[in-house]
Amino acid sequence: MTTTDLAPASQDAPGSADGRPPVLELAGVTLRRAGKEILHGIDLRVEAGEHWAVLGPNGAGKSTVLSLCGANQHPTTGTVHVLGHRLGRIELQALRRMIGHVDPRHRVASPLTVEQVVLTGLTGSADLPRRWEPTPDQAEHARELIASVGMGDRAGLRWPTLSQGERGRALIARALVGRPQLLLLDEPTTGLDLAARERFLTALDGVVAEQPTTSTLLVTHHLEELPSTTSHAALLRDGAIVAAGPVDEVLTSAGVSEAFAHPIRVERTHGRWHASGA
């Protein structure tokens, strides 16, 4: 099954004002593991072209929410719609191929070049399948994305020789090569030094500007790691949402202090956020 084999979006999918379903809709979601409830009544709605940050302390449930959004697990109760399709009523592998995922822990099975790693985003694999070749359009699109994240002169370098920052930028291109409608980023600047982090965020801002209809969801627990294109935010604490909505209404000193259970002063300068003890 290919992405074009997906059936039309479920008729019971919630609609937007223009009649289109949202990119993501979590309604009354709980999730239990080993008898313990780790998510409690999560409600979250992401429209096309919105760029969300999900923040909270360690153990708040951020990555678990991201796994639901990526169709990697089902809720215990409540409903999850991804790209208009309700989990439990759609073939998951086909749905996952419509979602880009940037995970700094991504493993490359063999010493592929940057271009080859990016092309594995089309096959959803850690290595390129035998006898598989990209179409000319796919290969050209991969090269364009590699250039757009500032890696054009490194496309032929082998993965083991790359810095962590270079790998992060290549993984953005890999996640976008399939032209996804949804891009998920799981603490993408983990392990990067300050300069590498800034190059990564600049590359992400550039890609977002070039693909205005793609929605993004970025998980982190550091405000300094948010790209300037962030439009919305959700704050989590102990498996529940403390606040969610437009970023300037959510990322306030009061809201962040509540989520982290500690007095924190939040400031925004030159489009970026900074946190310090209150």
Is residue 156 a part of any domain in this protein? yes
For residue 26, is it within any domain?
no
- 59 within 8 A of 38, measured Cβ to Cβ: no
What total of structural domains would you count in the chain?
A: 1
Q: Does a structural domain hold residue 195?
A: no
The whole-model pTM stands at 0.84
Structure tokens at 20: 């289109």
In a domain, residue 146? The reply is yes
Please give the radius of gyration of the chain, using alpha carbons only, rounded to the nearest integer: 19
pLDDT tens-digit readout, 219-251: 998 899 899 999 999 999 999 999 999 999 999
Rounded (10°) angle between helices 136-148 and 114-123: 120
Q: How many CB atoms lie within 10 A of CB 156?
A: 9
Instruction: Specify if 39 maps to a domain.
Output: no
Closest CA to 148 of 203, 230, 195: 203
Indicate if the alpha-carbon torsion angle 106, 233, 173, 192 is positive or negative: negative
Pair 125, 179: CB distance under 8 Å: no
Residue 172 pLDDT? 87
Residue 212 domain flag: no
Asked, for residue 117, whether it belongs to a domain, the answer is yes
- Burial pattern 204-223, b for ≥16 Cβ within 10 A else e, equals bbbbbeebeebbbbbbbbeb
Q: Model confidence over 64-118: pLDDT tens digits?
A: 999 999 888 899 999 999 998 898 877 777 777 788 888 877 888 788 999 999 9
Q: Which residue has the higher pLDDT, 14 or 212?
A: 212
Spatial strand order in the sheet of 77-82 = 36-46, 24-33, 77-82, 85-86
Backbone phi, psi, residue 49, to 5°: 80, 0
Compute CA distances 205 → 73, 157, 166, 246, whole Å: 29, 24, 16, 18
> Is 141 a domain residue?
yes
Domain that holds residue 133: 103-179
